[in-house]
Amino acid sequence: MRRTVADGLRSTVRALVYAVLGGTALLAVATVVAVLGPVLALDLYTPAVAAWWTVFTAVAVQGVPFLLLGTVVSAAIGAFVPERVLRRLLPRSPALAVPVAGVAGAVLPGCECASVPVAGSLMRRGVAPAAALAFLLSAPAINPVVLVATSLAFPGRPEMVLARLLASLGTAVVMGWLWVRFGREKWLRIPGRDTPHTTGVRAFADGLQHDFLHAGGFLVLGAAAAATFNIAVPRSVLDVFTGSPWLAVPLLALLAVVLCVCSEADAFVAASLSAFPATARLAFMVVGPMVDLKLLALQAGTFGRAFAVRFASATWVVAVASSALVGWWLL
């Protein structure tokens, strides 16, 4: 009995001490923050930081409708399209399914944020990964919205649109075939939602919420990276490299990776890089929708980091080669 009283007393004292100490500490912190906070916040809120926040929120805001479209389509595929329908639509052999899926990319009118969840959902529904990957690469690059934007950005130069179409489709198909030949299942984490057997409206709502939240988080991550590079790399640096096509092509292809311009807008940015040779600008437009920091984050989130790094670097190389080839032929 005495022991419990002593225990009670001890814990009361301890609680009191904690309360006093914690309260004092909290008060001190609050005072310091209240006094120094506004000063510090104003000091830290330089034009560069403000511009970072603006670009960061801009990329995220712009991505939301496209991401939602992509997740709606992907959740709809997951919930309403039976596997055998997709199986019947695509040729049995992956090597033949790849070009079909690549061309089918033309029907998803969105930018790259939309295509990642859709590709994930296709794999989940039993589409060969190679075909789904070809679709993933081609959809944001060759859909009608993007091609019309390209023709608007390069008035009087229809060969630019054709070159973009061919080089992008070529890259997508080659990457699909490369995956058929060299891809390893263990690199790829096929995105399994944990309720694979339910279908219908509830599965749709659950899938939508999960996919949107998941991809949205990675979109934010990518937006942060894009904003950082946007603020850190001045575009005037580029002028140094405009002279040599051997440098200009890989340089603009790298720029496409770090700038993360939406595929519906990148033609206008490419058009504004008027000091560069046409082939380099083509490379910018071919690489942009297939490899950029925002996409890398989305892919890593959906398919796993091991896959995203391998796939993105291989795609970059193939895309640069394909645009160099098509550019040399057409432009």
Partner 1 sequence: MRRYGGAVLLLLTGAAVLRITVFGELYLRYVQAGLRPYLIVSGGALVLLGLVSLATTALPGRRGRPDTPHGHPGAPDDHPGHHHGPAGPRVARLLTLPALALLLFPPPALGSYSADREAAQRAAQGVGTFPALPAGDPVTLTVGAYSSRAIYDSARSLKGRTVRLTGFVTHGDDGAWYVTRLLVTCCAADATTAKVEIRGVDAPPTDTWVTVTGTWRPKGTLGSDAAWPPLLAATTVTRVRQPADPYEKP
Q: Which residues of the chain form contacts with partner 1 (CB under 8 A)?
A: 47-48, 50-51, 53-62, 64-65, 68, 154-155, 189, 193-195, 203, 205-210, 212-214, 216-218, 220-221, 223, 226-227, 230-231, 234-236, 239, 259-262, 264-266, 268-269, 271-274, 300-301, 304-305
Question: If you ran DSSP here, which 8-state letter would residue 196 be given?
Answer: T
Minimum CB–partner distance for residue 249 and partner 1 (Å): 18
As measured in angstroms, the least distance from the Cβ of 42 to partner 1 is: 12
Q: Which is nearer to partner 1, 79 or 318 (CB)?
A: 79
CB 162, min distance to partner 1, A: 18
- For residue 106, how far is the Cα from the chain centroid? 18
We find the least distance from the C-beta atom of residue 203 to partner 1, in angstroms, to be: 8
Angle at CA of residue 107, ends 101 and 109, nearest 5°: 130
Rounded CA gap, 314 and 175, in Å? 8
Cβ proximity to partner 1: between 218 and 316 the closer is 218
Category of 183 on φ-ψ map: left (φ > 0), alpha (ψ -120 to 50) or beta: beta
Cα gap 121→75, rounded to integer Å: 7
Nearer of residues 101 and 160 to partner 1, judged by Cβ: 160
Smaller CB separation from partner 1, 102 or 288: 288
Whole-number minimum distance, CB 222 to partner 1, in Å?
Answer: 10
Question: Do residues 241 and 65 make contact, with C-beta atoms less than 8 angstroms apart?
Answer: no
Mention every residue, 6+ apart, whose C-beta is less than 8 A from residue 35: none
CB of 233 to partner 1, least distance (A): 9
- Between vectors from CA 68 to CA 298 and to CA 63, what angle results, nearest 5°? 60
Kindly state the tokens that stand for 69: 């479209």
Count the Cβ atoms, other than its own, within 10 Å of residue 311. 26
State how far Cα 54 lies from the chain centre.
Answer: 19
- CA-closest candidate to residue 249, choices 223, 284, 220: 284
φ/ψ of residue 243, rounded to 5: -70, -50
Residue whose CB is less far from partner 1, 175 or 260: 260
Beta carbon nearer to partner 1, 53 or 329: 53
Q: How far is the CB of 262 from partner 1 (least distance, A)?
A: 5
Rounded CA Rg of the chain: 25
Least separation in angstroms between CB 6 and partner 1: 37
Contact predicate 124/195, CB 8 Å? no
Name the minimum Å distance from CB 147 to partner 1.
15
Nearer to partner 1, 132 or 261 (CB): 261
Considering the complex, state which of residue 9 and residue 49 has its C-beta at the smaller distance from partner 1.
Answer: 49
For residue 47, the tally of other CB atoms under 10 A from its CB is 8
Complex with partner 1: residue 179 or 212, whichever CB lies closer: 212
Q: In one letter, which amino acid is 201? A: V
